[in-house]
Amino acid sequence: MQLNVDLGRVMWWNTLGLNFKCIHFEHGGHSMTDHSEQAILEPTGGSRAGNRALSVMDQIREAVLNGSVTAGERLNEVRLSRTLAVSRTPVRAALQALAGEGLLDYAPNRGFTVREFPLDAIVDAYEIRASLEGLAARFAAERGLSPDEKATIERSLRAGDRLLERGSFEPGDLTIYRDINGDFHDTLLAAARNRMLAEMIRICHHVPVSSSRNIVAFEHRDVRRRHDDHHRIYEAITAREPWRAEMLMREHVSSVKASLVKSLTERIADRDREDES
């Protein structure tokens, strides 16, 4: 499947619960508009001061991963420096680092542009992540959870139960669930106690929408199923059943991949129909 995913148009804008002000970008290799630069700094509902606590690289990475800056968009170093209220040196260093991570492309006389990821690449990232997170779950079951890790996971499970018991979602629930989901996956990865594994999963997360903090298909039925998966995975880990924990985690991530492919292909089809009309 060779569909290229234009993250600015195809992905839903509040993927990470940030609801960015800017909701339209031009296609192709045009420079970032003033609005898209502001989107890096000012998610609605968040404090400007709090966001500034993030590093320059974190702010630009966030904008790329959540789709507020589109594939092929050129990042202007001077404008970013002005928008972020920093000198050009940290901006240049951040862009170079993000190019090293694979999020940006660099070309002489053109500068840095947001890399375009074909749908196949996103699917591959999920499949690799399923294998790696399955291994992390197995390691966690073999090595055991610390009291703090158990407390964090149980807190996320209880929070998810409370969120789902209403039977429907309200505005702001996506942000809550994003943190619930992220805490669960991050804590299990930490419990694996394997730095190399953590680095490999981090690389998978550099492919847009493949991170555990990106929520796919935020429908009550889908979230209910995924949260039930979390309960079963935790039960397998605390029962010290490593192979069952690995299998359950693999199936869990693979089901998210299936939802993602369905959602993206539907959105691409909708966009094509709009372009034809």
CATH number at residue 46: 1.10.10.10
The CB-based long-range contact list for 81-84 (8 Å cut-off, 24+ gap) reads 83/34, 83/37, 83/38, 83/40, 83/41, 84/40, 84/41, 84/56, 84/59
> Which of the listed residues 115, 147, 171 is the one where a domain comes to its end?
115
Q: Which of 116-120, 236-240, 270-274 has the highest mean pLDDT?
A: 236-240
- 248/233 same-domain check: yes
pLDDT tens digits, 159-217: 999 999 999 999 889 889 988 999 999 999 999 999 999 999 988 887 767 777 777 67
Domain of 39, in residue numbers: 4-115
> pLDDT at residue 26 above 50?
no
| Number of domain units in the chain | 2
Average pLDDT, the chain: 80
> Which of the listed residues 115, 130, 151 is the one where a domain comes to its end?
115
Q: What is the largest CA-CA distance in the chain?
A: 58
pLDDT of residue 7: 43
Q: Which residue has the higher pLDDT, 51 or 246?
A: 246
Per-residue tokens: 188: 């299990």
Is this prediction's pTM over 0.75? no
Beta bridge partners of residue 107, listed in sequence order: 111
- 103/124 same-domain check: no
Per-residue tokens: 10: 């195809």
Q: Could you write out the DSSP letters of every residue in 61-128?
A: HHHHHTTSS-TT-EE-HHHHHHHHTS-HHHHHHHHHHHHHHTSEEEETTTEEEEPPEEHHHHHHHHHH
What does the pLDDT average to over 50-56? 54
pLDDT of residue 241: 98
Check if the beta carbon of residue 69 is closer than 8 Å to that of residue 103: no
Q: Which of 12-16, 30-34, 108-112, 116-120 has the highest mean pLDDT?
A: 108-112
Q: Which residue has the higher pLDDT, 215 or 11?
A: 215
Distance CA 252, CA 270 (A): 27
Beta bridge partners of residue 20, listed in sequence order: 43
DSSP 57: H
64-78, 133-147, 236-250: lowest mean pLDDT where? 64-78
Distance CA 199, CA 110 (A): 31
What does the pLDDT average to over 79-108? 89
89 burial level (CB within 10 Å; 0-12, 13-18, 19+): exposed
> Which of the listed residues 60, 80, 115 is the one where a domain comes to its end?
115
CATH code assigned at 185 = 1.20.120.530
- 127/68 same-domain check: no
Distance CA 9, CA 20 (A): 13
- 9/74 same-domain check: yes
pLDDT of residue 227: 96
- 58/191 same-domain check: no
pLDDT tens digits, 258-273: 888 887 777 777 777 7
Q: Which residue has the higher pLDDT, 23 or 139?
A: 139
> pLDDT at residue 99 above 90?
no
Check if the beta carbon of residue 67 is closer than 8 Å to that of residue 15: yes
